[in-house]
Structure 1
Amino acid sequence: MLTAVSRNVACKAPMSMQVRNMATLKEIQQRLKSVQNIEKITKSMKMIASTKVAKAQRGMETARTFGVASNSLFANAETKAAEDSKLLYVAASSDRGLCGGIHSSVSKATRRAIEQHPDALVAILGDKPKAQLGRVVRNNIAISFNQIGKDMPSFEEASSIVDTIKEQGIEFDSANIVYNKFISVVSYEASVIPAYSQEAFKASPNFAVYEIEDDVLANLQEFSFANSLYWAMVEGHAAEMCAKRAAMENATQNAGEMISKLTMTYNRGRQAVITNELIDIITGASAL
């Protein structure tokens, strides 16, 4: 008797689950309307990102020109960090999401660098890389900044970050700025821009050629650090805008495909309902 009851229950369970999982026409219609709203949002965000890409690329070209000129000073002086020097890694990203793997690229490159230099300090620009790096290199984080990436980065913003790092007493001989290098509108890669302290620059083999006084040298070091940081932030911002545009374009295409499938499913269900109603009407008329 018990066996027969258990079999009946086992036979009825799939039927009830099947009925419970079947979507009604109203549910499909609501789902279709929500996906259409999502498509409108992603399409608008794509248009906004497209307008920002051109502006970001123009700012990137200007910042890159000044950054390359500033770094050529260290290249001509043959400045290099000593093996036992104090290292500082600056992970330059932003607070914004919906832009693909922009933040993960910087976080992974910084994490690999910290694995090679466990005693190095880390300064983080942006809440997204902070959340990613905080789970792995929490003890190495010396300072972090937020409210990054809301608009086009400026040199004043980079100067303020450098001043804050100096005020916090974070000492370093070499600072490696990890950022997303802009390659094309669909490609970027994590790269490093070096910056050096005043003592490291003075120890360069060709430093005597420049004949720079000490008070000028201190200002030059802060300016070159801020200039390199500005270059990294602006170029990373351009890569982020291109990645955001690509992400919103893919999201819009996916929403369009989902709308087509839901529309087809809704039409088939509606046609089945109409057919069943016609059959009932015809059957009733035949019975009369």
Structure 2
Amino acid sequence: MDFKQLRALVTVAEVGSVTRAAELLHLVQPAVTRQIKALEAELGVPLFDRTRQGMRPTEAGVTMADRARRALTELDRARAEVAPARGAVTGIVTLGLLESAAGLIAEPLTSAVLRAHPGIELRLQTGYSGHLRRWLDEGDLDLSLLYDITGSPSLTVTPVVRERLWVLAPPAAGLDPQRPVSFARIARDPLVLPSPGHGLRSLIDTAARQAGAELIPSVQTNSMPLQKRLVLAGHGWTILPGVGIAEDIAAGRLTGAPVREPEVWRSIAVARPRSGRVPPAVDVVARELLCQVHAAVADGRWPSAEPLIGDGGR
């Protein structure tokens, strides 16, 4: 087993085609096929099912591709760290961003990091908090934004900000950010809600029980962009964190207001694994992430948000 075989395995698993994998790896197709077959022979199990639709990883193939991807990432990270330019911070940093906050944070964070440290390679992954937490625990992320996590034996957690949930409606509803809307009022309209099991849905259901309001969703989805599109199309109101709707309200695409009776808050933290040394590049990105979050709150770009720690180094 060698790194060329592992790269071939990961690439074929990602693109589903030996031909396309060969193009990406700058190899001829027979060479990629030989590498996959050699790996299968060594392991004694098939790694792919060859179908008309392409190469589909078997259960063993999925497991091997997952492990190989992590090994290759660690190798790339080591190469970047052992030969930096004098005084430069270099390396690969894989950062998890909450889907709701990515639009606000990703671009200014990337610009700030790469301007000050061009030797850092950022790899940004977005997802819901539960997915990001699992990826952290499995070693696929170096650090991540998570919400409503107060502590963990496996993670170092730094609280950053807390924010209110908002109700979002079509422009015709005329919701006013200065006039919060009660759960009792929200329950009178059709609702587009996150799917059961989603952390945000748990917050919403708990608050509804406290208000004695029965929320009956007309649509449920695990996609925040889809929630907003369905609201815009007139399928109901929805409830989302303020950070995820700021641009829509500012542009007049949708109207929104904070939720009240009860108010619903979620806290957001930066988390990273406790084990192992923290590479300088990860430390740089973590500090800049704190700065960007606090700048967004201070500038009013993060609605109904309050900082939970200091100024993040500014």
Could you tell me the TM-score, scaled by structure 1's length?
Answer: 0.23
Could you tell me the TM-score, scaled by structure 2's length?
Answer: 0.21
Q: Which has the higher helix share?
A: 1
Q: Which has the higher strand share?
A: 2
